[in-house]
Every structure is written in structure tokens, then in C-alpha cells.
Amino acid sequence: MFDAALVRKARQADLALYLISLGVPLVRSGGRYRHKVHDSLVIKGNMYYWNSRGCKGNSLDYLIRHMGLDFRDAVGALAGFVPVDAPRPPKAAPSGCAAGDFRRVFAYLHKARGISYDLLQFLVDKKLLAQEANTHNAIFFMRDEKGEAVGAELEGTLSDRRFKGVQAGSSYGYGFNVMPHGDAVDFILFFESAVDLLSFIQIKALDGKRLDNCLLVSMCGLKPNVVMHMTGIFGGQPVLCVDNDDAGDRFAASCTQAYLPDGAYVQVRHCRPLRHYKDWNEQLLASYTVNSKGG
């Protein structure tokens, strides 16, 4: 059970910044935000007003009523959310893991998302994946250039509810990152989520291709600060591997260059899922269906 302080923190979370981090199309209008599609939905701070539906409430109310999360998952999502433009607390390793217990995480990522047990075990061995003790959320650890944990991306393990977030205390500009093969960073591939990142690795494995000297990074949303920061630290050619949707198109159009460690600019390349798939996980799941029909 959550204590009162945690619930209060969830209710007071900045709802607009949280939704923007998930790719929800909000536009600023003075001191508030409006939904680009549902223009009667107005958000200011931690409060929303959906005039056409005659309802209003705080951030916690919104996630429960309009995103389908239960109370516990909604509190976990909002209390652990740190806005992109907010000051970050000092670096601290994520805590609250269920030591040795990966059953819910493995079941969700394998059965619902199509990620192989071998890849999941690789992440566990590299201390990049864990299961949160109370919520059973998947914890994808962010590690810096020294290999030290500096935060985590979280994802719920209930396939009928969508929950993603960044753990409180995560360092600014970092993302969950994996290098499957190699030592030098020639390319940095940026994804909208850890699941998309792992799906890309899985797709390449099914095609018999190795990702040599490629660092794969999840932005946990669409975050230019992660592209700039990670490119500045690790060097390499940045490649955007974002979704095939309007938000992905806008982000790709706006994020055209990044800094290298020596201060020079480098052009950002693009690698998108096949046109008829929204994201890399959808393409991965479809590939299993095609293969099963073909053989």
C-alpha cells in the first residue's frame, strides 16, 4: 500500500509533461496545454478539464479514468516521473528490485512482446534488467559511460494496461542502453522505448545479422536531450529509430544534428520500422506470424 506522501506526489505531478513524455500530442496555449485532437481537453499543472465530457480532476484521476491504469500503477507512474526539463537529483542507483525474481518480467516480455529468453537472460547477466519488488514493473537500468547505474526506465508488466515512466532520481540526458557486440561506438541508435530497442535486436537476430559496435539507447519517449547527451558522451553516428506516426515524423524532422565529443556537429540518420508497422515491436510480432504461416 502506498503512503500518503507518495499518493500526494502522484496527484501533484505535472500532467502535461507526463503525457508529452509518452508522445501524446499536446500544444501549449498560454499557461496551459490543449490536446491536439480533443481540443476541449485542457491541462494546467496537475489539473485537467475535459469540457465536452463534463469531467475534471488531477493527474492521478486522469491516468485511472482515461488511460485504464489501476490505482497502484497510476501512482507508480506519476510518483516516479521526472520531467525532462526539471533539475535532476544527484546520481543514485535504482532500488526496490526483487532480487532473483524475474518471472513476471520474463513472462510479459517474452509472451506479450516476443523477446527471446536468451536476450532477456543476457540483460539480466549484464545487470540491465530487473523486476520491481512491489509493482512487478520491469526495470531497465540506465548506465553511464563508466557502467554505473544512473537511473532506470520502467514498464508495467500487465499487457492490457500501458504504463511507462522514468524512475525518480534518474540522471538527466541518459537512457537505457545496450551494446550487443563490440567495444567502439560507431553508431548510436535511439528508440522510443526499451521494448522497441529489444525488438530491434530481436529482428536483426532473426535475420541473422549482428549489431557490431552499435550502442542502442531508449529515450523513454521522444527526447532530444537524450540524443544530444548520449552522442556527446559516446560519439558515433546518431540514428533515429522512432515510430511511424505523426509524433515520430515531427521529432525526426526537428532532430537533424547532434554534437560529437569534440564539439563538432554530426548529421542524424534515420532507420524506421517498415512502413505498414507503427513501431519495432509491432514489426517483430508480425514477423513471428509470417514465419509461422510460411513454415
* CATH code for the domain in which residue 33 is found: 3.90.580.10
pLDDT over 60 at 293, yes or no: no
Give the torsion through C-alpha atoms of 51, 53, 56, 60, to 10 deg.
-130
Q: For 135-176, how does the pLDDT look when each residue is reduced to its tens digit (9 = 90+)?
A: 788 999 999 999 999 999 999 887 555 677 888 788 888 999
Q: Please give the Cα distance from 121 to 61 (Å, whole number).
A: 37
β-strand pairing of 32-35 with 138-143 = unpaired
Q: Are residues 167 and 67 in the same domain?
A: no
β-strand pairing of 138-143 with 149-155 = antiparallel
Q: Please give the Cα distance from 251 to 161 (Å, whole number).
A: 25
pTM of the model: 0.67
The boundaries of the domain holding residue 246 are 103-294
Residue 91 forms part of a structural domain = no
Q: Please give the Cα distance from 173 to 16 (Å, whole number).
A: 20
Contact 30, 44 (CB under 8 A): no
Number of domains in the chain: 2
Residue 93 forms part of a structural domain = no
Q: For 99-145, how does the pLDDT look when each residue is reduced to its tens digit (9 = 90+)?
A: 567 888 999 999 989 999 999 999 999 999 999 877 788 999 999 99
Buried b (16+ CB within 10 A) or exposed e, 196-211: bbbbbbbbeeeeeeeb
Residue 192 forms part of a structural domain = yes
Q: For 211-242, how does the pLDDT look when each residue is reduced to its tens digit (9 = 90+)?
A: 999 999 999 999 888 998 999 899 899 999 99
Q: Are residues 268 and 155 in the same domain?
A: yes
Q: Write out the H or E segment, with its range, that includes residue 62.
A: helix 59-66
More confident: 180 or 290: 180
Q: Please give the Cα distance from 36 to 22 (Å, whole number).
A: 14
Q: Give the pLDDT band of residue 91 (cuts 50, 70, 90).
A: very low
Q: Are residues 243 and 121 in the same domain?
A: yes
Residue 87 forms part of a structural domain = no
Q: Are residues 145 and 265 in the same domain?
A: yes
Residue 98 forms part of a structural domain = no
pLDDT more than 70, % of the chain = 86
Q: Tell me, what's the pLDDT at 134?
A: 76
Q: Tell me, what's the pLDDT at 68?
A: 72
Q: For 247-278, how does the pLDDT look when each residue is reduced to its tens digit (9 = 90+)?
A: 999 999 888 888 776 667 889 999 999 999 99
Q: Are residues 26 and 151 in the same domain?
A: no
Q: Tell me, what's the pLDDT at 84?
A: 44
User: Where does the chain show beta strands of DSSP type E?
Assistant: 26-29, 32-35, 41-44, 47-50, 55-58, 129-131, 138-143, 149-155, 164-166, 177-178, 187-191, 214-218, 237-240, 257-259, 265-267, 269-270
Q: Are residues 69 and 158 in the same domain?
A: no
